[in-house]
Structure 1
């Protein structure tokens, strides 16, 4: 992914600065807000990626949209603009969140479901994460109707696949193996 190494370095620098000023949590909240806002606005993404729009115009837009963020976050905007790297803003925000979570010992559980998670389902998934890892985790939900039902849980390098599609594939394989064996 283009720019991911640079985004990692910017995120690390901002996290270090925020830690030094005891504002890491506040900046993390800003970064979460920025990532969600940019991802949900195709116009803002277009402006940030456009080589035609001047960095000063991009900065002015960011200052208007994110006027309530921490001064450290504003400094990030300035540094990215100065280096003509404002298109990396979402990636930097995401990397910051990841580094902050790692620093705080917060794991992220990625859950793929056929339908959006309800609070009751989220509680069950949280219990499964605790059973598998011994710790709680922040749950990120992805909806994928192709799994039909159930869920796929990924925490770090662990994966627990309780999807209906996986079970159907397993049954299909078993039937094929039994059919093949009976022909012998």
Structure 2
């Protein structure tokens, strides 16, 4: 996710209005769909980023791709198109989800493992995550074989690194910094 201040401002405004109108849950569902489709379809993101295409064409395409948008989401897309910021749609959606979940007392816990999570490993990681945060956690899993084993748990700006590669790096650092003389 690109961290864009404009996307954050639009997301904050959308959250504020949707909370006033009581439509925040519907808007969150739409934004989750937007994020999922944009993550799965890089061509759509590239299409929205294309400066040659008109904002009207981009807006019509968004409405054709996302046919079940709520009224609040449609207004948000209209606003982004009018302000020539429709290329920020995926970023606004991500920011909105983050802000809404934080407002609801939820927080993302991102766990990176070398292999896909099993149910028992997921429970162990959730228990560790609950030690680090009192918020209601939403566990998201990333598989990265380069960590060799163990896991890396990230909750907000906190990180718990129990990966094998981290332990090997720590050991390497300790061995290279220690003077051994005979």
The TM-score with structure 2 as length reference comes to 0.91
SS at match of 1:140: strand
Residue-pair matches, total? 182
Q: Which residue of 2 aligns with 1:164?
A: 164
Gaps of 5+ in 1: none
Write the mapping of 1:121-140 to structure 2, written as runs, cut at 5 A.
121-140=121-140
Task: Report how far residue 171 of structure 1 moved.
Answer: 2.7
Deviation track 1:30-70 (CA, whole Å, cap 9, x = no partner) reads 11110111121122112101112111111111111111121
Report what 1:80 is aligned to.
Answer: 80
Residue of structure 2 in register with 1:36 after alignment: 36
Query: For 1:54 and 1:32, how far apart are their aligned partners in 2?
Result: 25
Q: What 5-or-longer segments of structure 2 have no aligned partner? A: none
The question of whether the paired residues in 1 share the 8 Å contact of 2:105 and 2:136 is answered with no
CA distance in 2, matches of 1:135, 1:81: 35
* RMSD value, Cα: 1.9
1:169 is displaced (CA, Å) by: 2.0
TM-score normalised per structure 1: 0.90
| Cα distance, 1:3 vs structure 2 | 7.5
**CA offset at residue 142 of structure 1?**
2.3
2:104 matched to which residue of 1? 104
Q: Give the CA deviation at 1:121.
A: 2.4
